[in-house]
Every structure is written in C-alpha cells, then in structure tokens.
Amino acid sequence: MGTLTYLSDDDLQALGIGPADIADAIERALIDKAEGRLHTAPKAAILPGGGRYVMSTLAVGGGLTVVKTVTVSPDNAAHGLPSINGAIQAYDAETGLLKAVLDANWITAVRTAGLSSVAARRLADPASESIAFVGTGVQAQSHLDAFAALFPLSRVVAYGRGGESQTRLLEKARAMGLDAEAESDPNAAIAAADIVVTSVPLDYEIEPFLDAGSLRPRTFAAITDLTIPWHDKSLSAFGTLVVDDLEQERSAPRPMVPAETIAGDLTDLVAGRIATPEDDAPRAFAFRGISLGDYAVTRLALERAGHA
C-alpha cells in the first residue's frame, strides 16, 4: 500500500502557496472540467441548526480522487476551538488506495477565497480600491488576503457582531497598510465599497438585512453564505450573477437565488461562455462551495509537498 502522507494545517501553510497560486489551480481545474477531464459531484450538506453546517465533497480527475468532510460550528470560538474542522482524503483514482490525509481548515478557507478570486478576475473592476466585509470571521480574513493580491485596495470597512474576529480583521487590514474601520450599518458598509464580501453564519433563521439596490455601479459581491443576509427581491439589482455550479444549484433543496437571475456558473465564466459585463450594474458570485475547489487546492498542496 505504501506510505500514507499526512499534511496538517501547519504543514499546508508552510508550503508557501499564495492566493494567485490557488486561483490559478482552480482555473486549471475548471478548464479540465469543461473539457471532460475532471468529474465532480454536487456537494452534500446538512444544516442541523444552531448555525452548524456539515458538508462533504467529491471530485475525480488526473489520477486523483479527493473527498472532503467538514463541519462549521460557530459556537466553537467561545471554547477556544476553530469554527471549521474536518479532513480531506486523497485516493489513487485507478486503484482506490488511500494516498494522503490532509487537515481541511486551511484548504477550506483558501479555496473559498480562491473561487471568489476566479470570479473577481472577470467580474470586478480592476481598479477597485475599497472592500466591505459583512461577517468578519475566517472567510473575511482569507478574502482580504486574496483580494489584496488582486486589486489596489486602500480601504476596508467591516460590519460584524463585534468581538475578537472583527478586531482581528481590522488589525490585519491596518497591518497591511490599509485604512480600516468598523461600520454599524451593514447597508452603509456595502454602499461605500467597490467589492463586497458576505460571510455570515449559515443559519436560515437569520432575517435578511442587505439590499443589493444600495450597491454602487459595477460593485462586485462575493456571496459565500448562501445569500442568507440578502433580501431575495433585491438580487435582481445584479446585472450579472454567477453561481459556482449549475448542477449543484439545481439539485439543492433550497436554491440560493431565483433561477432566472443566474447567468451561468464558474465553469461557464472561465470557459468564455459568459461575456464580461460591459454595463454598470453590480455583479455577483454566489456560491455554496464546490468539490472542484477542494480538489484543485489538494492537488496543488500534494505537488508542492512532493507527494503528487
């Protein structure tokens, strides 16, 4: 069977994989999928209540099968535990033998921001200088890293529940040389930004509070939270709205957005089947997270670690 490789989150962080590397790896995987070399299954997910979210992904391609299982537990922070926990298993696609086990926290954080980056490369204004965060946890941190590498950011506005996560995000932004401030009104926060990232807890009991109609022209929104904080009727303000995977969205028991508002998915965008918008309407990428992202970053990490 051979030696089983284990890569912890610390091991993965030490590989020096940057945001651009991750976005590039995801784009390559999207092209492989478009050309039939990568096969993915819709994500399986359960929301058992209390903001908890349990999910699993599966992808096969390039001689590798990647399976991930993760639980998001918002209450963990009060106990000094990470809010995201899980593991990734990499198998030889031909023999089915287990090759490697990887911690899932780091990969989950960066692959989500990587998916947003792929969309932002095509939908966001390249001159974007300001970014607003609604939700200030792990995804806000990883998206700040990713978008600071893509755009000439100078200003950060954060709306959250306060506490340590918001403080950490603002301190991180200031350490990067950016002006950063908290905002008590979420719609004022998103109205003042070129890029918006929403990442509230995945809890359908949250009452929607964001109005897409308040966005300025050409704003790009990366919506990582199933559109939970957005008023459904306001989503028509987006001139171009892309989801991560149409098959997954159509099979989901609860759609993120009305079907008629969807221009296509991320594979369509990268394959050139969705035109780059030329109008001034806001644009959005709304996503659940797809197995392709986990596959792409897992493969990249194994290659960097010399275990491909």
* pLDDT given for residue 275 in this prediction: 87
Task: Note whether 270 and 245 are within 8 A (CB).
Answer: no
Task: Note whether 206 and 200 are within 8 A (CB).
Answer: yes
CA distance to 40, 96, 98, 115, per residue, from 60 (Å): 6, 11, 13, 18
Coil, strand or helix: which one is 177?
A: coil
* DSSP per residue, 208-225: P-B-GGGSPTT-EEEE-S
* pLDDT given for residue 1 in this prediction: 54
* Alpha carbon distance 268, 206 (integer Å): 31
* Alpha carbon distance 30, 287 (integer Å): 15
* pLDDT given for residue 283 in this prediction: 98
* Alpha carbon distance 174, 178 (integer Å): 5
* Alpha carbon distance 129, 157 (integer Å): 11
The alpha helices in 55-162, defined as continuous H runs, are 105-123, 138-150
**Which pair of structure tokens corresponds to residue 181?**
């401030």
Q: Which helix (H) or strand (E) holds 90?
A: strand 84-92
108-289, superfamily in CATH?
NAD(P)-binding Rossmann-like Domain (3.40.50.720)
Task: Note whether 194 and 157 are within 8 A (CB).
Answer: no
Start-end of CATH 3.40.50.720 domains in the chain = 108-289
The single residue listed with the structure tokens 């993915």 is 40
* pLDDT given for residue 2 in this prediction: 65
Start-end of CATH 3.30.1780.10 domains in the chain = 5-107+292-304
* Alpha carbon distance 168, 145 (integer Å): 13
* pLDDT given for residue 241 in this prediction: 97
Strand pairing of 52-61 and 195-198? Answer: unpaired
Q: What is the mean pLDDT of each run of 10 residues along the chain (308 residues)?
A: 88 96 97 95 89 92 96 87 92 96 95 97 97 96 97 97 90 98 97 97 92 97 97 96 94 91 96 91 95 97 92
* pLDDT given for residue 297 in this prediction: 98
* Alpha carbon distance 263, 154 (integer Å): 31
**Which pair of structure tokens corresponds to residue 144?**
């700040």
* pLDDT given for residue 162 in this prediction: 78
- Tell which CATH classification among 3.30.1780.10, 3.40.50.740, 3.90.650.10, 3.10.105.10 matches the domain 5-107+292-304: 3.30.1780.10
Q: DSSP class of residue 99?
A: E
Which amino acid makes up residue 4? L
Strand pairing of 52-61 and 64-72? Answer: antiparallel
Strand pairing of 44-49 and 52-61? Answer: antiparallel
